[in-house]
Chain A
Amino acid sequence: MESAEQYLLAIDEDPERAAGIAKDTAKRLENKELILLSLTKSLGEYLTNDDGIIRAKATGFYAAVLTFLPPTLLSPAQVSVITQFLCDRLEDEAGLKEVTQGLFAVAGMARFQPEDAIMIAKSLFKSCDLMKHPQGTRHLVYQLLDKLMLERRSALKQIGSNFATGFVELVTNEKDPRNLMIVFSHLNVIIVEFDISDCEEVVLDACFCYFPITFKQPPNDPYGITAKDLKDRLKDCLQASGKFAVYLFPQLLEKLDSHSTNTKRDVLQTITACALSYGKNTIANYSSMLWDAIKYEILNASDDGLALEALEAIRAISRSLSSKLINVTKGSSLDRYLRTVTKECLAQLRNPTAKQAKPSASIIAAVSAASAVAHATTFQTVIPGLMTIYDGLEEVAKQRSMLQAMIPLFDATAEVYGVWGKVELPPSPENSLEPFKDKLFEIYSKALMGASKGEVSFRLAGLAGLTKMSRIRNFLADNEIGLIIQFFDEVILTEEKDQLRDFALESLMMLSRLKPSLIMEVTFPAFMAKLPDKEEGEKAYDMTLAALAQLSVERPVFQVLLTRIFNKLNIVLRNKSGPRYPFALVSSILYVLRTKNDLGKDISTHYERIVPELLTRTITPLSDGSGGDALSHEAVLEVTGNIVNLILRVMGAERQAEVLKELFKLFVTREPSAMITVDKELIAQRFNPLEQGTSPQQACTIIIFTSAVAAMRGEVPLPSENLQQFLDRLFVLAQFPYSPGHRRSLLRLIAIIINKYLSAPADREFLAASTDAMWASIKSASCADAAFNLPALFWIAKALALRNDKLAEPIVGRLLELLDDEGLGVTVGRGFEVLLSDDPLLSKENYAVVRLLSKQKLFVYCIPKLTEGFRAASPAAKRNYLHALSNIIRNVPSKLVLAEINTLMPLLLQSLDLPDPAIKVASIDTLAVTVTEATDLVSEHISSLITRLLAASSPSDVNTVRVRTAALRCLSIFPSALNIVTVIPYKRQIMRALLKALDDPKRSVRKEAVDCRARWFALGELKDDD
């Protein structure tokens, strides 16, 4: 059997074998066992067969053999003959795919000649009716053309404009996005490099017929072609030749009248691209026509996004016309264009409160930002015009609108001439806003400082104008900016309106980056002088401190701030202040440190300056027998602790170890410590916070110690010889705390030490024994007060559970048992908050051992026991279970709750009947998530849910504002989250019931009721048809 016949038989059954046959044949040709002619001849009968499929297969065999031939085997003549042969086969529609494969192989031959390429292109154009074939075949043809375009472009160019027309005809009606991606890139090359002189319109039409692209990427699209890809390629074609302008612009503008936002956007983006690439002379001919059409999109904009695109287009034209111009040139195309634009815009600005005034000003800004020449040309006419209009305005409202309208002009100027602080700008040309500087400075200053206090938006306009002007590079002098900063200072220090103050502060922050020295010279002294010397109520200092803190992020400024704050603290404490003002002063340091840390700056460098200083100031007054001063108030201790924690946390292990040693000396072993800067020996004698019999104030400083220990990296060892003994000491102290805060920091300290340091087998035995002992004491306790070890158990369990320690579960199991206990159940229920909440100190950021899924594990352990216990519990104890549950779900991700929601739903519903606002809010919040995430389950319970939520929305002692708000908010999710069939039966009931909530005594609740009712009202009403 001949190989051709074998191939034809095999190709359908076993393509691999068929390929093998072709490969063999190729080998035989290579070894001269077979000659090309006889191969062609052997195919003869098949190639003339009546059945198209057989003809195609035969060609396929031929193509396959060619593919396997070494590229250097055939002589130029042979290549030509084969090309000719295959090109002739193109007339047979049946085998296009196979012929193309063959041609692809031939085109890869070493001796493939330019003439052959020309022959292929011409034959394709002549014989191929491409659109009759499936997408895959067409794709092959495009790939063949792609290869020729890439490797034989100069040959193809010889075909002349026939190539362009031929190609256009070939691809007409192509619709597949994958193919279009190739077609567009071919068209682009043709437009740029080929001769299209007598067929421009045809080529353009071939591109433009796809405009606008309406393709939507199908879901799970395997080819990954987006509408944007197609749009970009098409845009590249359209912008490729300025000769298109004459045909393209009228058609584009016609499409601009479309109602579709997408079409409009595409048109505007295409115009922008063309304006930038067609060249000045072309654009000059169309600028006024384009302007006339595009301006409507800005002046009557209904869509801000479109207006921005239109502004871009207007600006691109200005930019294009600016090219090669250095000076303002009367009569230039730019001059003519800008003259038209500015004339119309100025006319609109005559009435600055009208709707089209603001867009007009944006247009002026856009055209002037295009280049320095455009800027100069525009501003020379516009600014004097605007000044004349402004002088004629009498109403404040109009003046205000005018000042606001002009602000984009300053932005445009900053864009052309740059802002302060950037170094690498070339020397800028004369700023054409310069001549109007004094006048502008005057009217904006007057607006800010001269207007009456009530004219907020007028003054805001003044403020915004001054801000924008002060950032333009080399525009205002330093003393003028200094004056502006003084204005802003005054606004911040005296202004009652938050909006103005916020803006002024933002401006100062901007200037503190561009002109830091001016802020230090002008603002700091003014603000510092404003801080009172003793506590006078927070109004006297809060804004000033907040402003200072926000301005002090830069290092030198912060140094100044620290000095000033510490000095102020001295004075304030000497004046026997309460805790508020010192709290605020210390907090402002914390605020700056946090901000700096968030910005990625190294704050550990501030250690020397801050940590020993604060500790000495806090502890020294406690050691002279008096009760200490405001710095040892718990709230201030917390802030100090946070500062210490934040600074220590970012230190390396070595430095941490050094610091920790000194801290232990101070707090634990009572040795002279480097933490104390004055009288260390005296302090060592008198300061004993961790000993029984110490003063309550000294004991509370443990808050700082705990925060510091929390910051240690796991590899930093605690400088204590026997940790177990140290813990025992803490256990005892925690049994009889001086205050809740004192207990919390002791327990936290215990938890931190256990979590990070006690994981050796011996240590875990110690822990098991300790908790067993605690448990025994709790079991024998008669009331909550006697069960003084209960809190410790919760914290120990927390520390262990975080690192997925097996010891945790038995402890938690015991605690769960206690929920049935009459005396302790309530406390235990509340305690679950400790167990699962995120602790600020026992956290990953503080290097605590927090294993993946630890919360999940605990949750999964607790929930079945809770639900089981709940079912068996007495009515009184049920409440404790619900309380525990509420504390648990409040503190775990809602995803976890949803996984168990089937079990939990009955409990959640019952908890809505409890007279406890906190539980109710937690349950409703959980339900709110459930409504969107577990629709089936909610649909099942919908009736009882709606009844309970409606009940929770009417005011009572239990249904606090928060409960009512949560209930209404939850109800308002139903209509959009659930199937309409499920919810619509309740519409009437709810619409009626909500009438009551509309009359709620509290305004915020009424607001929720209105929104909720509107959502239910819309349910089932006719929808918009868009």
Chain B
Amino acid sequence: MTDIINANPTILNASDLPTRQSQSRKKQSSAAHIADRISRLPPSRTLLYDPFAGAAGEDSAYDSGTDDDNEDEGTAEDIDEQEIYDLISTISDPEHPLSLGELAVINLPHIHVTHGTPTPENPTPMSHVLVEITPTINHCSLATVIGLGVRVRLEQALPPRFRIDVKIREGTHQSTDQVNKQLNDKERVAAACENDTLMGVLSNMLATCK
């Protein structure tokens, strides 16, 4: 790929990319971290912990201990659009040292996850994820490669109950149908994955996934 197809694409600012609002502020912000250190009472577990006293009683005056280590074990967190976004937005573009998120090829609103309703007979019903990608220019010949990269990443990272659809977003590419056909044809995808050169490109793209 010596000729760069789109040498000067529009890029988004990393801080504008959608992220999950972290419940624990510590991870993100140093000021909040210091604020926590200063103003948060130590959880009763650490203060009252005594190896010689058996189970420590809870003192209502202490924090009941809602720090990171003590993540609520009970509540399940479903796989949602943001999680899919986090999985694929860090894939590198094949021609720029930028991520698909920064190039707005992957956009949060264009990811759709639908979960089936669990029934007693089938506690884990099929789920469906649809990702629509937006090529940086409408004749981008790498759209297929990008789509394939997204597909491979999702197949590796999602549990088998997910059906995965990767499409070019309507009206953003001159040969949308053709590319879509290629991306969602199981045999063609499998054949592509046998191609060493192509897999080399893909593994470079996926190497930046965080």
Task: Across the interface, name the chain A residue whose C-beta is closest to B160.
Answer: A995
Decide if A404 touches B13 in the complex (CB within 8 Å): yes
Contacts of B7 in A (CB 8 A): 300, 355
Judge whether B71 and A1004 touch: CB under 8 Å: yes
Tell me whether chain A's interface is mostly helix, strand or loop, or mixed: helix
Contact B199–A1021 (Cβ < 8 Å): yes
Interface-forming stretch among A153-161, A425-433, A576-584, A893-901?
Answer: A576-584
> Is A791 a contact of B34 with CB atoms below 8 Å?
no
| Bound CA–CA A659/B95 (angstroms) | 69
Query: Shortest distance in angstroms between B152's beta carbon and chain A's nearest beta carbon?
Result: 10
A1013/B156 contact (C-beta < 8 A), A353-B10, A498-B25, A1002-B71 known: yes
Contact A740 B49 (CB under 8 A): yes
Nearest-neighbor residue (CB-CB) of B16 within chain A: A457
User: Smallest Cβ distance from A303 to chain B, in angstroms?
Assistant: 8
Asked if B200 and A538 sit within 8 Å, CB to CB, the answer is: no
Which residue in A356, A538, A588 is a CB contact (below 8 Å) of B40?
Answer: A538
- In A966-1009, the 8 Å CB interface with B consists of 995-996, 998-999, 1001-1004, 1006
Interface residues on A, range: 35 or more
Q: Given B36, B61, B98, B200, which contacts A1024 in the complex, CB threshold below 8 Å?
A: B200
Contact yes or no, B157 A740, CB < 8 A? no
Q: Are A635 and B29 touching (Cβ within 8 A)?
A: no
State how many angstroms separate the Cβ of B161 from the closest Cβ of chain A.
7
Q: How far is the CA of A743 from the CA of B51 in the complex (A)?
A: 11
Given contacts A998-B157, A1018-B203, contact A791 B52 (CB under 8 A): yes
Q: Is the CB of B40 within 8 A of A1010?
A: no
Q: B38 touching A545 by the CB < 8 A rule? A: yes
Q: Which of A920-965 contact B (CB under 8 A)?
A: 960-962
B5 at the binding interface (Cβ < 8 Å) = no
**Interface residues of chain B: helix, strand, loop or mixed (majority):** loop
Residues in B whose Cβ lies below 8 Å from that of A578:
61
Residues of A within 8 A of B36 (CB): 542
Q: Which of A356, A401, A995, A1002 contacts B77 (CB 8 A)?
A: A1002
Q: Would you call B157 and A583 a contact (CB within 8 A)? A: no
Closest to A353 in B: B10
B11 touches A634 (CB 8 A): no
Question: Which residues from 601 to 653 on chain A have a C-beta closer than 8 Å to any C-beta of chain B?
Answer: 633-635, 638
| A998-B158 in contact (CB<8A) | yes
**Interchain nearest-CB distance for A511 vs B (Å):** 16
B120 within 8 A of A: no
Does B191 reach chain A (CB closer than 8 Å)?
no
Residue from B31, B42, B47 in contact with A546 in the complex, judged by beta carbons closer than 8 Å? B31
Residues of chain B in range 1-49 having any CB-CB distance to chain A below 8 Å: 4, 7-11, 13, 15-16, 25, 28-32, 34-42, 47-49
For A404, the closest partner residue in chain B by CB is B13
Chain A residues near B62: list those with CB within 8 A: 635
Residues of B near A591 (CB, < 8 A) are: 34, 37-38
B97 touches A543 (CB 8 A): no
B58 to chain A, nearest CB (A): 12
Q: A522-559: which have CB < 8 Å to B? A: 538, 541-543, 545-547, 549-550
With beta carbons under 8 angstroms apart, the residue of B11, B29, B156 that contacts A355 is B11
What is the interface residue range for chain B against chain A? 35 or more
A1001 CA to B182 CA in the complex, in Å?
33
Q: Does A73 contact B (CB under 8 A)?
A: no
Distance of A353 Cα from B136 Cα, bound (Å): 13
Chain B residue numbers with a CB within 8 Å of A725 are none
- Please name the residue on chain B nearest to A1013 by beta carbon: B156
Interface residue from B48, B96, B97, B124 paired with A999 (Cβ < 8 Å): B124
Residue A502 lies at the interface, judged by CB distance under 8 Å to chain B:
yes
Which partner residue on chain B sits nearest A997 by CB separation?
B159
Tell me if B170 counts as interface (CB < 8 A to partner A). no
Q: Residue B53 at the A interface, CB < 8 A?
A: yes
| A220 interface residue per 8 A CB criterion | no
A831 close to B (CB within 8 Å): yes
A-B pair count, CB < 8 Å, reads 162
The interface bits of chain A over 560-587 (1 if a CB of B lies within 8 angstroms of the residue's CB, else 0) are 0000000000000000001110011001
B187 at the interface (CB under 8 A from A): no
Distance to closest chain A CB from B194 (angstroms):
11
> CB of A237 within 8 A of chain B?
no
Cβ of A1017 < 8 Å from any Cβ of B? yes
- Given A354-B9, A962-B69, A1024-B200, also A580-B39 (CB < 8 A): yes
B62-83 interface (Cβ within 8 A of A): 62, 69, 71, 73, 75-77, 79, 83
Residue of A nearest to B62 (CB): A635
Contacting pair A502 B41 (CB below 8 A): no
When distances are taken between beta carbons in the complex, the residues of chain B under 8 Å from A457 are 13, 15-16
Closest to A544 in B: B35
Inter-chain CA distance A1013–B50, complex, in Å, is 39
Proximity bits, A475-510, B CB within 8 Å = 1, else 0: 000000000000000001000001101100100000
- Report the Cα distance A1001→B28, complex, angstroms: 23
Is B121 part of the binding interface, using a Cβ–Cβ cutoff of 8 Å? no
> What are the interface flags for A373-410 relative to B under an 8 Å C-beta threshold, 1 for contact and 0 otherwise?
00000000000000000000000000011001000000
Does B185 lie at the interface of the complex (its beta carbon under 8 Å from any beta carbon of A)? no
Cβ < 8 Å to B, chain A residues 689-727: none
- B126 touches A (CB below 8 Å): no
**In the bound complex, how far is the Cα of B8 from the Cα of A579, in angstroms?**
58
Assembled-state Cα–Cα distance A1022/B202 (Å): 12
Q: How far is the CA of A264 from the CA of B193 in the complex (A)?
A: 35
Q: Using Cβ atoms and an 8 Å threshold, which residues of chain A touch B52?
A: 743, 784, 790-791, 827, 830-831
Cβ of B54 within 8 Å of any chain A Cβ, yes or no, is yes
Please give, as numbers and ranges, the residues of chain A lying within 8 Å of B8 by CB-CB distance.
354-356
Smallest CB-CB separation from A831: which chain B residue? B51
Say whether A302 faces chain B, with CB atoms less than 8 Å apart: yes
Pair A1022/B196 contact, Cβ less than 8 Å: yes
- Chain A proximity mask over B154-183: 1 for CB below 8 Å, otherwise 0: 001111110000000000000000000000
A356 to B6, CA, bound (A): 12
Q: Pick the contact of B56 from A401, A588, A740, A998 — CB < 8 Å?
A: A740
Q: Which residues of chain B come closer than 8 Å to A1025, judged between CB atoms? A: 200
Closest to A1022 in B: B196
Q: Which of A354, A999, A1017, A1018 has the most CB of B within 10 A?
A: A999
Structural contact, A834 and B97, CB atoms closer than 8 A: no
Q: How far is the CA of A446 from the CA of B158 in the complex (A)?
A: 45
The reply to whether A550 and B34 form a contact with Cβ atoms under 8 Å apart is: yes
For window 107-126 of A, CB contacts with B under 8 Å fall at none
Question: In this complex, what residue of A is CB-closest to B157?
Answer: A1010
CA distance A404 to B75 in the complex (A): 41
Closest residue on chain B to residue A400 by CB atoms: B13
B140, CB-defined interface residue at 8 Å: no
B31 A743 Cβ-Cβ under 8 A: no
B209: Cβ under 8 A from any A Cβ: yes
Residues of B close to A791: CB separation below 8 A: 52
Is B204 located at the chain interface by the 8 A CB criterion?
yes
Which A residues are in CB contact (< 8 Å) with B29?
Answer: 498-499, 501-502
Residues of B within 8 A of A834 (CB): 51
Contacts of B97 on A, CB cut-off 8 Å? 302-303
B87 within 8 A of A: yes
Contact of A1022 among B32, B35, B159, B199 (CB under 8 A): B199
- Please give me the residue from chain A that is nearest to B96 by CB atom: A355
- The residue in chain A whose Cβ has the minimal distance to the Cβ of B22 is A498
In the bound complex, how far is the Cα of B69 from the Cα of A501, in angstroms?
26
A549 neighbours in B (Cβ, 8 Å): 34, 38
Determine if A87 is an interface residue (Cβ-Cβ < 8 Å). Answer: no
Listed by A's residue number, 20 A-B pairs whose Cβ atoms lie within 8 Å are A303-B97, A354-B9, A354-B11, A355-B96, A401-B13, A404-B13, A498-B28, A499-B28, A538-B39, A541-B39, A543-B32, A546-B32, A549-B38, A580-B39, A591-B38, A635-B42, A743-B52, A791-B52, A1013-B156, A1022-B199
Task: Identify the 8 closest CB pairs spanning chains A and B, nearest first.
Answer: A498-B29, A740-B50, A1001-B76, A546-B35, A999-B159, A584-B39, A542-B39, A830-B51
Given contact pairs A583-B39, A998-B158, enumerate 12 new A-B contacts (beta carbons under 8 Å).
Answer: A300-B7, A353-B10, A400-B13, A457-B15, A501-B29, A580-B39, A584-B39, A635-B62, A740-B48, A833-B51, A1001-B75, A1002-B76
